[in-house]
Amino acid sequence: MKESSLYVRRITISAVFLSISLVLKTAFSFYIPVFGQNGMSVGISGIFSIMPSLLFGPVYGSVVSGLSDFLGYLLKPVGTYIPLMTLVVAAGGFIRGALWSALRNKDSKKMRIAVLIFSALMLSAGIFDHAFLAADGVNSEFYNQVQKENINTDNMHLISKMLIERTIDVKDPSGNLKTYITWVTTAMIVCAALGILLLAADFFITKRLNHDTSKGQIPQLLIAMIGSGLIVTTLNTIVLRETIFTAWKVLPFAVIWIPRVIEEILGNTVKAYFVAVLLEILRKLRTDKN
């Protein structure tokens, strides 16, 4: 097939997926309020806007995702249009396509083992860091309870020493220490939980589709979709918090972010199942045609 014909075919197929996505977004999508604002969109249109990034790569994914967001707003306006949000969604389509392109040919069994090892390491590190910090009395109120000149780290665990050395001479030692503690304890445990959830979703989808666990591409698909989804959700939360939903600023970022992340993980897990079905159908059609 000539290169020009290949481009035309890809653009045509992408346009079809975009059209289906827009129809579904207009007719079968709704918003769930988050702290008084339309914070989370729920619908199945994303299943089809995702396909070009998986079939044709990050550039097609970026263009279709961006157009889906922009044209979807024109067809069904909800709230204020923010161009930066469209750019974030387009970036998400690019990241999804790039992750899929990088991972799709990797060995699924090795990827599952890598995720399992990563989750175990993150969980162990988070639990041990929490235990060591607690044993040394290092918490978010540490600098309010102890005078700086009286702090002695000689008998403390390594993680406690590192955090105190990094925060003791900064402008806001208590605030910085609290952030560091969150990163080395809660954030690590959350990463471990995400890995375990990914493996559970992989097991469920693989069994439902009756795929060979050694040959299927479900782990790669989940990583591409959930990974890009988490990036987009995080950036969108920041944009919304700093622009039109300024009431969110009075709340800790995590309070706004966590419900959106949970929705993103669950939503992308469900979407991954249907996307896997569509990919399997397209693969069979291609095989039959050849």
Residue of 87 and 253 predicted with greater confidence: 87
Query: Taking 70 as the threshold, does the pLDDT of residue 1 lie above it?
Result: no
* pLDDT band at 35; cut points 50, 70, 90: very low
pLDDT of res. 42: 57
Give how many domains the chain has, as a whole number: 1
**Is residue 261 included in any domain, yes or no?**
yes
**Is residue 243 included in any domain, yes or no?**
yes
What gap in Å lies between CA 35 and CA 53, rounded to an integer? Answer: 33
Closest by Cα among 226, 195, 217 to 92: 226
Domain with residue 38: its CATH number is: 1.10.1760.20
- Dihedral, 279, 10, 228, 77 alpha carbons, nearest 10: -110
The answer to whether 168 and 182 are in contact (CB under 8 A) is no
Residue of 226 and 46 predicted with greater confidence: 226
The answer to whether 151 and 168 are in contact (CB under 8 A) is yes
To which residue do tokens 């993680």 refer? 159
**Is residue 210 included in any domain, yes or no?**
no
What gap in Å lies between CA 201 and CA 264, rounded to an integer? Answer: 13
Query: Taking 60 as the threshold, does the pLDDT of residue 12 lie above it?
Result: yes
Query: Taking 60 as the threshold, does the pLDDT of residue 231 lie above it?
Result: yes
Q: What is the DSSP letter of 148?
A: G
Tell me the pLDDT tens digit for each residue of 93-126.
999 999 999 999 899 889 999 999 999 999 999 9
The answer to whether 111 and 103 are in contact (CB under 8 A) is yes
* 216 CB-near residues (< 8 Å, 6+ apart): 108, 206, 209
- pLDDT, average across residues 154-178: 91
To which residue do tokens 């445990």 refer? 189
pLDDT of res. 215: 59
**Is residue 212 included in any domain, yes or no?**
no
**Is residue 153 included in any domain, yes or no?**
no
**Is residue 100 included in any domain, yes or no?**
yes
Query: Taking 80 as the threshold, does the pLDDT of residue 52 lie above it?
Result: yes
What gap in Å lies between CA 72 and CA 28, rounded to an integer? Answer: 12
**Is residue 46 included in any domain, yes or no?**
yes
Tell me the pLDDT tens digit for each residue of 174-195.
988 998 999 999 999 999 999 9
What gap in Å lies between CA 276 and CA 270, rounded to an integer? Answer: 10
pLDDT of res. 282: 85
**Is residue 114 included in any domain, yes or no?**
no
Query: Taking 90 as the threshold, does the pLDDT of residue 260 lie above it?
Result: no
Q: What is the pTM of this model?
A: 0.82
Its domain, for residue 264, covers: 3-104+217-289
